[in-house]
Amino acid sequence: MSVETQKETLGFQTEVKQLLHLMIHSLYSNKEIFLRELISNASDAVDKLRFEALSKPDLLEGGAELKIRVSFDKDAKTVTLEDNGIGMSREDVITHLGTIAKSGTADFMKNLSGDQKKDSHLIGQFGVGFYSAFIVADKVDVFSRRAGSPASEGVHWSSKGEGEFEVATTDKAERGTRIVLHLKAAEDEFADGWRLRNIIKKYSDHIALPIELPKEVAAVEGEEKPAVEWETVNRASALWTRPRTEVKDEEYQEFYKHIAHDFENPLSWSHNKVEGKLEYSSLLYLPARAPFDLYQREAPKGLKLYVQRVFVMDQAESFLPLYLRFIKGVVDSNDLSLNVSREILQKDPIIDSMKSALTKRVLDMLEKLAKNEPEQYKGFWKNFGQVMKEGPAEDFANKEKIAGLLRFASTSGDEGEQIVGLAEYLARAKEGQDKIYYLTGETYAQVKNSPHLEVFRKKGIEVLLLTDRIDEWLMSYLSDFDGKNFVDVARGDLDLGNLDSEEDKKAAQEVAKSKEGLVERLKTALGESVAEVRVSHRLTDSPAILAIGEQDLGLQMRQILEASGQKVPDSKPIFEFNPAHPLIEKLDNEQSDERFGDLSHILFDQAALAAGDSLKDPAAYVRRLNKLLVELSV
């Protein structure tokens, strides 16, 4: 037995303690996934060694046969998993087994509710990896040595999963990692060859290197115990290299869980082999749930890159645009060199061609899901919709295709139903309608009840309601869809085109002409507060609204720029009034210039509030309103 030195006891990071507690208490219904997670980690370690050994063959230390071995001891109630991959140094062990160094940790912890069923889903989104060992074990020992290090620099990590762990330096002749699980009293079912074999076949058949179990050899009486013989129990071939007809759905689903470290099945996948000028295979997955770091654009993302089935890079981000960063999968190229780097990938014309093809493949997969599984697509949109809205700005070549995948709330739906596609909107548009109308705002209630929609309700015209903070920015990149222009109903001078009859247009012109005097009085009263005053064609019930100039920033964009500390260009709203409203009629008949001014400013401030804006001078608004109330009560 080797002597251990430099022994120390360290505490787990707070997040690890919470995660351990949750796994032990929340994942009891699916305990066997511990083996899948540990085999997945071992596979990654072997992949990393294979890649590093391309430039440093000495790391193989004479042992080029890479494999994972799983064994058990019924009497000692242990399960042991061993790989001859890259291994870990003492520093690696403390970092990887004592902390969760994954972006989104804080968000993950914040979302935990204490409800075991809900939390188990969250754990699945976050990924548990090594810590799943404590679902079945009350003590875990890890023996590891990094490839290339001397045998004396092995490390022994040990913990009971209760808040601290021990680390010591020890001798380890072989590179790689050995994990020994000391099973809990009620979990000795896993110390069984048949049980372990079934779990490996179920979850890890796709792993592209041999997973071996001891072969059961009957002992002959009077002879020494025979040497252990090992047999491979998985298929041990790269799943993406096999013909699609030979791969079952269950295998695709388990492979996804392996590469994505997710508990849930994917929504959809696309497996493709390209031959000809370029040769590569791809297997792309659409997750069912968003990861916690989805909105951190700098967070790790991308596909696993293999070159001729040799693992090269874990998160190759050059193969898909940023707005598709939620896609998981593998790309295996025959045309790239094994020593390819991130910097080379960014400049390689082959990559541009592959990126274009893979992007179209993902968009086709989404189109198919939206057409064939609308309920599932609704779930996808809830999770990934805001990220997809980055697409039109980033991917001009596919702008129309992306636009067809966008979903919005509208005046024809109930609150929160973000399910109207643009093709669906146009299919039920009014006869003669040649525009797509929309309105942006902070909340659904605000836009649904906006005065800007009054004329649209009266004429039965559907309007899209856009309430995500990104929406106004999105619409600055979407000018049209299927030949129909987008129109912001709060911007410029509204023209309903063929939806207004000639009689309506003539009547509106006559009313505007008759109110020219009131327009001038309002311009004088409101002064520098407005860019223009005009008679409104949008209003049926409200007295007044504020419209945005054609080239001016809307409220959403102004707020985004202000929040980021950027200078916002000066702009003034257009004041529009409803000549048929009783308040406007009273205003028109008001003889006192002072009272006319007060009423004009009250109407202006009310219109600003209805648009979701804040008042420049709330005290002045309150003062004028109080003055008016006093006059009315006298």
Query: Does residue 390 lie in a domain region?
Result: no
pLDDT of residue 112: 55
pLDDT of residue 337: 75
- Residue 420: both structure tokens together: 């109207």
Query: Does residue 392 lie in a domain region?
Result: no
User: Which residues does 182 contact at the CB level (< 8 Å), separation at least 6?
Assistant: 76, 77, 78, 137, 138, 139, 140, 141
pLDDT of residue 634: 56
pLDDT of residue 621: 86
Give the residue, 180 or 31, on which the prediction is more confident: 180
**What are residue 437's DSSP bridge partners?**
487
Which residue, 189, 218, 237, sits at the end of a domain? Answer: 237
Residues 193, 273 within the same domain: no
Query: Does residue 608 lie in a domain region?
Result: yes
Distance in angstroms between the alpha carbons of the first and the last residue of the chain: 100
pLDDT of residue 118: 54
pLDDT of residue 499: 73
Residues 303, 205 within the same domain: no
Which residue range forms the structural domain that includes residue 223? Answer: 5-237
Burial class, 304, CB count within 10 angstroms (exposed 0-12 / middle 13-18 / buried 19+): buried
Residues 67, 214 within the same domain: yes
Query: Does residue 585 lie in a domain region?
Result: yes
For residues 432 and 455, give the distance between their C-alpha atoms in angstroms, rounded to a whole number.
16
Residues 487, 587 within the same domain: no
For residues 513 and 536, give the distance between their C-alpha atoms in angstroms, rounded to a whole number.
12
Per the structure, the count of domains in the chain is: 4
3-state SS, residue 21: helix
Question: In CATH, what number is assigned to the domain containing residue 143?
Answer: 3.30.565.10
pLDDT in tens, 304-337: 888 887 777 878 888 999 999 999 999 998 888 7
> What global pTM score does this model have?
0.75
pLDDT of residue 632: 73
Query: Does residue 56 lie in a domain region?
Result: yes
Smallest Cα–Cα separation from 599: which of 575, 583, 579, 619? 583
Question: In CATH, what number is assigned to the domain containing residue 523?
Answer: 1.20.120.790
Mean of the per-residue pLDDT values of the chain: 85
Residues 481, 517 within the same domain: no
Which residue, 217, 237, 257, sits at the end of a domain? Answer: 237
Give the residue, 571 or 86, on which the prediction is more confident: 86
Smallest Cα–Cα separation from 250: which of 230, 237, 266? 266
pLDDT in tens, 479-508: 899 999 999 988 877 777 777 777 777 887
For residues 234 and 410, give the distance between their C-alpha atoms in angstroms, rounded to a whole number.
51
Question: In CATH, what number is assigned to the domain containing residue 440?
Answer: 3.40.50.11260
Strands 328-333 and 303-307: parallel
Residues 62, 127 within the same domain: yes
DSSP for 42-92, please give it: HHHHHHHHHHHHHH-GGGGTT-----EEEEEETTTTEEEEEE-SS---HHH
pLDDT in tens, 105-155: 455 555 555 555 555 444 444 445 788 888 899 999 999 999 999 999 999
Q: Is pLDDT above 60 for 415? A: no
pLDDT of residue 103: 41
Residues 163, 229 within the same domain: yes
DSSP for 250-269, please give it: HHHHHHHHHHHT-SSPPSEE
User: Which residues does 255 contact at the CB level (< 8 Å), separation at least 6?
Assistant: 206, 239, 283
